[in-house]
Structure 1
Amino acid sequence: MSSKKLLPSAGRINSTLRKFTDSEASGGILLMIVAALALVIANSPLAPVYFATMKTYLGPLSVQHWINDALMAVFFLMVGLEIKREMLDGQLSSWSRRILPGVAAAGGMAGPALIYVLLNQHNPEAIRGWAIPAATDIAFALGVLSLLGPRVPVTLKVFLTALAIIDDLGAVVIIALFYTSDINLLALGGAALVLLNLYAFNRMNVSRLWPFLVLGAVLWFLVLKSGVHATIAGVLVALMIPIKVTPGAPEATQDNSLLHRLEHSLHFPVSLLVVPIFGFANAGVSLSGVSFSVLLEPLTLGIALGLVLGKLAGVFGAVFLLVRTGVVQLPGSASWAQTFGVSLLCGIGFTMSLFVALLAFDDPSMQDRAKLGILGGSLIAGIAGYLVLLLAPRRTTRAVSTAD
């Protein structure tokens, strides 16, 4: 298969992708800072204030629930917009472009889940966390890549971004199917009616954003009451936002689409505000009383090994198999060592892994063990991936076509 089927046009790389990776990379670096800050505060004299603030109720929900259920709905709105745009007008708009990141994402979700299940198969409570190490944190991963500058080819950033978007889609499906509580049929029926209205707005090509956002807020409330996790409402609203795709049209024309405008307006607030607030609210883990034996418990170890070894085996194994069988070629200008390093970075599962952990476990002690596994595994994967990419030789012998 020709490599040009796997690569976007030069113009698209230099604009949309670069804007996306720049904002995500900045958000990733900020996320590293706030996660470290939350850990420090949670193990300092300020810990009682930190934990009490998270549990303080503002109306019907606690501060932490407002962050995890409401603020993160905006994050999932952004995820949904990215998924829809990439599927219709981006790196995943054709099957030839979906094959490599799609199979790699599937392997990268199956590998960690398998390791976790093998280690926790005899614990019916812990087994609920099987999906925790399956997700990749695109902001964190691109934040690490940004520290390496031009040492990493843009094509690998395209690959990582596409993989993470498919990974996010998988996580959304998992949350909807496996982490849904008792269903309130009346609220679910109301949510379905609101969704039909949003679909009607889409078909009528409504050009104003506010009708979608107003009904989106109603949809969020009804989904919250239905038993399905409220953040799914963000994805559903995103799928209803109109997008105008004109093949061959310049990007400036494409940006007039309502979906493009909303996505661009959300990039910076989501990357630099929503995700860091979520990270700060959920990364704080008290290490008092934590012994080395806790780190070796199946729950903690399963998550950490899933993120480091499971992601590496799943992502790199899938790429190796597809390339060696001639189905696809390596992303242009990328070496096997660089691909290995990016596969390691896929083991950074911070934001979505924390989110799934909170859904999987009600027991605070199990949540804390899950957080330790996420933080430890993500840290190891991030450092190892960074070092591999720092030392990896560049591949410069093959000319790369950038035509679509």
Structure 2
Amino acid sequence: MTQMIRKFFSMESSSGVMLIFASILAMWVANSSLQGLYEEVLHIKLVGLSLRHWINDGLMAVFFLLIGLEVKRELFIGALKKKETAMFPAIGAVGGMLVPALIYVFFNQGDALAVQGWAIPAATDIAFALGIMALLESRVPASLKVFLLALAIIDDLGVIVIIALFYNSDLSALALSVGLAMTAILILMSYKRVTSLTPYLIIGAILWVAVLKSGVHATLAGVVLGFSIPLKGKDVHSSPLKQLEHWLHPYVSFIILPIFAFANAGIPMDAISNEVLSNPVPVGVALGLLLGKPLGVFSFCYGALKLGVAKLPRGVQLKQIFAVSVLCGIGFTMSIFISSLAFGEIAEALDTYARLGILMGSTIAAILGYVLLRLALPAEKNAKAAISDEI
């Protein structure tokens, strides 16, 4: 049994399985006799904040810290280091954020409040998308996996910028000043090649509190901290960034994200009606993810190839890029997070509508993306030969 558990947690698809399980559990609880207890627990106040607030602002800051670490590593030594490797997924990521946002705005342009959710379908859930791809294991070319990973990371970076620019409340000059001072200290420590993680984490905690009080979303403190962690340690083989990333990854994948999913995916089914399903918010979100993502990613990638500004990754075909672009329509975690920023405290009904659209669009995108990718990939024997040629 212990060996089976270890094998499960070592699988790339296992984090996606955990997210699915947490979401189904949340839906079951929210539609059972436990619904009242579910909401009551999530609204428990701890040090002035509700439990759900601690999850969305506290635990998710750790998730964004991991994103900051991953983006920095990819920029300096990974898939985004070389221009020719980064250009193709970067262009796809831009299209994958722009087109879904436009589709959502098209459906909601008559409602000033609803339009605030324009970024909800612009996000891609990297854990889910990679988890679905991992189900096909050895049939997937390494270069196709790198393409999806790079695209999702650039997508996350774009979401971070969107949150920083568009999703903040009344700003506090004092708290912002403290946050900027902590940021300056982090940059100075990185410049002076301080390699111990402890001072970074202490300053990072102060930064999180300052950003929380500033009116800018607190999760951005995690990104700033992630970018400040040194990639190189005191010797050739040590890396504070890789050390922290390696330590955080299982906690984020198997604890933080499932907790977030459980706290945010519980939608009472009695709130769903034909009127709700035809509401512009869930329709705009679902179609933004299901149609906008693949249309944006694939059309921008195809245009880049035709214009000669990017090259198709080695061993990858256009039909496989299209299948991956459909997988990018799995917004889930990031989309739910943006929905909570756009509507959570000002329009709970719209937040519920948006989450319904996220669940519908992401579920269909996951199933359709898997089927298309399975059809687009070569049979296992041919895949092994292609991988050998690629190497």
Q: Structure 1-normalised TM-score?
A: 0.89
What are the within-5 Å matches in structure 2 for residues 115-126 of structure 1?
Answer: 115-126=103-114
Of the three residues 136, 143, 150, the one matched with 1:148 is 136
Give the Cα–Cα distance (whole angstroms) in 2 for the partners of residues 245 and 222 of structure 1: 28
When residues 40 and 254 of structure 1 are mapped into structure 2, their CA distance, relative to the original with a 3 A threshold, is: farther
1:26 to 7, 14, 23: 14
Partner of 1:97: 85
Q: Please tell me the root mean square deviation across aligned C-alpha atoms, in Å.
A: 2.0
Structure 2: distance between partners of 1:196 and 1:24:
37
Deviation at 1:393, TM superposition (A): 4.6
Aligned equivalents of 2:12, 2:245: Cα separation in 1: 13
Find the partner of 1:262 among 225, 233, 244.
244
- 2: distance between equivalents of 1:143 and 1:220? 30
Matches within 5 A, 1:108-187: 108-187=96-175
SS of equivalent to 2:309:
coil
2:47 aligns with one of 34, 59, 71: 59
Match of 1:384 among 356, 365, 368: 368
CA distance in 2, matches of 1:105, 1:93: 16
Aligned to 2:4: none
Secondary structure at 2:269's aligned position in 1?
coil
Q: Which moved more, 1:384-393 or 1:339-348?
A: 384-393
Aligned positions, number: 377
Correspondence list, 1:274-285, <5 A: 274-285=256-267
Cα distance between partner residues in 2 of 1:236 and 1:303: 29
Instruction: Give me the whole-angstrom Cα distance separating, in 2, the residues matched to 1:64 and 1:184.
Output: 23
Number of the residue aligned with 1:36 = 24
Runs of 4 or more, structure 1, over 6 Å off, are 395-401
Distance 1:22 1:107 in 2: 33
Find the counterpart in structure 1 of residue 354 from structure 2: 370
Conserved? CA contact 1:116–1:130, under 8 Å: yes
TM-score of the superposed pair, with normalisation by structure 2: 0.92
Counterpart in 1 of 2:322? 340
Match of residue 292 from structure 1? 274
Distance 1:346 1:255 in 2: 35
Indicate the residue corresponding to 2:336 in structure 1. Answer: 354
Inter-CA distance 272–289: structure 2 relative to 1 (3 Å threshold): closer
Structure 1 contact 135–171 (Cα < 8 Å) conserved: yes
> Could you tell me which residue of structure 2 aligns to residue 223 of structure 1?
211
Letter in 1 for 2:361: G
5+ long unaligned stretches in structure 2:
1-8
Aligned equivalents of 2:57, 2:292: Cα separation in 1 = 29
Letter in 1 for 2:177: G
Deviates more, 1:176-185 or 1:202-211: 202-211
Equivalence for 1:5:
none
Structure 1's 39 and 197: CA in aligned 2 closer, same or farther, altered over 3 A?
Answer: same
Q: Tell me: CA distance 1:255–1:122, structure 2 relative to 1, closer, same or farther (3 Å).
A: farther
Q: Which runs of 5+ in 1 are unaligned?
A: 1-20, 247-252
Q: Give the percent of matched residue pairs that are identical in Structure 1 and Structure 2.
A: 49
> What letter matches 1:372 in structure 2?
L
8 A Cα contact 1:57 1:63, kept in partner = yes
